């Protein structure tokens, strides 16, 4: 998509954009008002992500992200820009926090300022928080987890369980994406595997192509996979003690992406790396588990 692809968020256009998401099925199981809100959030994320991934002048892409910041100014002042039309109702209905939309933009800006290659764990974690856990913080409000008065939310902030679910799910899903998209990211000049994991595996040359051909790559990826599994496990513990109706969508997301992680590890990371998709059988079982909630 081109830099001005955010126009796809014009009123009523969020659903076809969301239909291309790996999370579309998880969004579809929600009640209509919540489902439409998730379509709108995904549409926003897709739009700013397209800007970050676009080829071309970095200054122009940063300016395009700043245009979105100005649109958020308008949206939260009650003046809805055309491409934010689908976000207006969800922002009001679910008290979506502008800080989280801003965090997503900040994460995309990290990709625009420079092509990230072998960041330290601390920087990678900040990136994951912005591009994934911030989306989770928006999403848990829509799912209904912020409505749970027993979770400990204060002064309009997220309840503890909702905040922790967003934290762990965001990290788990993003680390899985990183392992799945190694080759695609490398073609863009990016390598999100953490420097510490690479160096521990003997990978010191992180230039495009070199790290992905190194025999120590599997060890580095294994370290990332282990951390992702810990986040999935923490997220599952939270979902077990949360209202079933509020976690059916994140449960489907976790099931799909955890199956991708399992298949990536089973496939291995040596080239050639065949594409990996989610397990349909596991997704079906997850659907059946929450069919009546």
Listed in sequence order, the residues at least 6 apart from 99 whose beta carbon sits closer than 8 Å to its beta carbon are none
Under DSSP, the state recorded for 84 is G
Give me the residue spans of the domains in the chain. 1-113, 115-293
pTM of the model: 0.90
53-78 pLDDT, tens digit each: 999 899 999 999 999 999 999 999 99
By residue count, the chain amounts to 293
Indicate if the alpha-carbon torsion angle 41, 47, 52, 58 is positive or negative. negative
What are phi and psi for residue 267, nearest 5 degrees? -70, -35
Mean pLDDT by 10 residues, the chain (293 residues): 34 48 81 96 96 95 97 93 92 97 98 97 98 98 80 65 98 98 97 98 96 97 98 97 94 96 98 95 89 65
183-230 pLDDT, tens digit each: 999 999 999 999 999 999 999 999 999 999 999 999 999 999 999 999
Alpha-carbon 217 to chain mean position = 24
Rg (CA), the chain: 19
Which CATH superfamily does the domain covering 115-293 fall into? Farnesyl Diphosphate Synthase (1.10.600.10)
What is the rounded CA–CA span in Å between residue 188 and residue 168?
A: 27
């Amino acid at each position: 998509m081109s830099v001005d692809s955010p126009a796809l968020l014009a009123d009523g256009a969020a659903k076809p954009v969301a239909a291309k998401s790996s999370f579309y099925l998880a969004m579809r199981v929600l009640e209509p008002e919540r489902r439409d809100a998730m379509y709108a959030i995904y549409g926003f994320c897709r739009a700013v992500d397209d800007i970050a991934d676009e080829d071309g002048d970095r200054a122009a892409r940063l300016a395009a992200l700043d245009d979105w910041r100005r649109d958020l100014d308008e949206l939260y002042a009650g003046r809805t820009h055309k491409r934010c039309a689908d976000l207006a109702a969800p922002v009001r209905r679910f008290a979506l926090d502008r800080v989280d939309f801003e965090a997503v933009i900040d994460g995309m800006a990290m990709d625009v300022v420079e092509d990230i290659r072998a960041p330290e764990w601390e920087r990678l974690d900040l990136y994951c928080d912005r591009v994934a856990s911030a989306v989770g913080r928006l999403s848990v409000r829509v799912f209904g987890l912020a409505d749970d008065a027993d979770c400990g939310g204060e002064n309009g902030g997220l309840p503890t369980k909702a905040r922790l679910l967003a934290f762990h799910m965001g990290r788990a899903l993003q680390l899985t994406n990183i392992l799945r998209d190694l080759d695609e990211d490398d073609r863009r000049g990016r390598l999100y595997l953490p420097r510490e994991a690479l160096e521990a595996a003997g990978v010191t040359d992180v230039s495009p192509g070199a790290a992905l051909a190194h025999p120590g790559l599997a060890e580095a990826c294994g370290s990332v996979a282990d951390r992702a599994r810990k986040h999935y496990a923490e997220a599952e513990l939270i979902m077990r003690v949360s209202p079933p109706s509020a976690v059916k969508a994140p449960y489907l997301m976790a099931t799909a992406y955890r199956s991708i992680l399992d298949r990536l590890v089973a496939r291995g990371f040596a080239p050639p790396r065949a594409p990996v998709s989610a397990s349909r059988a596991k997704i079906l079982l997850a659907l059946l588990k929450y069919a009546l909630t």
